[in-house]
């Protein structure tokens, strides 16, 4: 069973690392991200092996969920992140990643009826305000940037 778990870990690392290697942005950003993902995956695997009392029950549904998470959600997410990073300012992309948590909390509220706590709602309002300020702020154009 340990061999299956290690094989799944290797597949997970490769599935997460491949899009990063293919979308190298000057080499350095993706290399740092790749390093973090490999170390994080190894630490998670060690933690699981040490703390998990029951072995994984491999089913078709579990395999599909793992494949979706490892390849589609993570890989496509990183590809879209680097696509956005190449075409927009880094500050806007960073704030856009913060919008992910706002969308997640709002989706949980709409779909599951989970109301956000007052502190969460305050954070969501602050993130939304920052995104709105960034979206409507005047940007220097090529004619005024050299002055």
| pLDDT score recorded for residue 114 | 92
Q: Kindly report, residue by residue over 59-101, the tens digit of the pLDDT.
A: 999 889 988 888 888 888 888 888 888 888 777 777 777 788 8
| pLDDT score recorded for residue 59 | 92
Q: CA–CA separation, 53 vs 145, rounded Å? A: 60
| pLDDT score recorded for residue 113 | 92
Look up the pTM and report it: 0.52
| pLDDT score recorded for residue 20 | 55
Ramachandran region, residue 19 (left: φ > 0; alpha: ψ -120 to 50; beta: rest): alpha
């Amino acid at each position: 069973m340990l061999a299956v778990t290690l094989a799944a870990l290797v597949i997970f690392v490769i599935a997460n690392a491949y899009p990063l290697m293919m979308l190298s942005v000057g080499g350095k950003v993706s290399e740092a991200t790749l390093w973090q993902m490999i170390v994080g995956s190894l630490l998670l695997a060690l933690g699981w092996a040490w703390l998990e009392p029951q072995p994984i029950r491999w089913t078709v549904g579990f395999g599909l969920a793992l494949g979706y998470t490892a390849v589609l959600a993570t890989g496509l997410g990183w590809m879209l992140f680097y696509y956005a990073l190449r075409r927009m300012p880094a500050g806007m992309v960073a704030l856009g990643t913060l919008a992910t948590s706002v969308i997640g909390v709002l989706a949980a509220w709409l779909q599951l009826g989970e109301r956000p706590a007052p502190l969460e709602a305050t954070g969501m309002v602050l993130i939304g305000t920052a995104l709105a300020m960034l979206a409507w702020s005047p940007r220097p154009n090529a004619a005024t940037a050299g002055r």
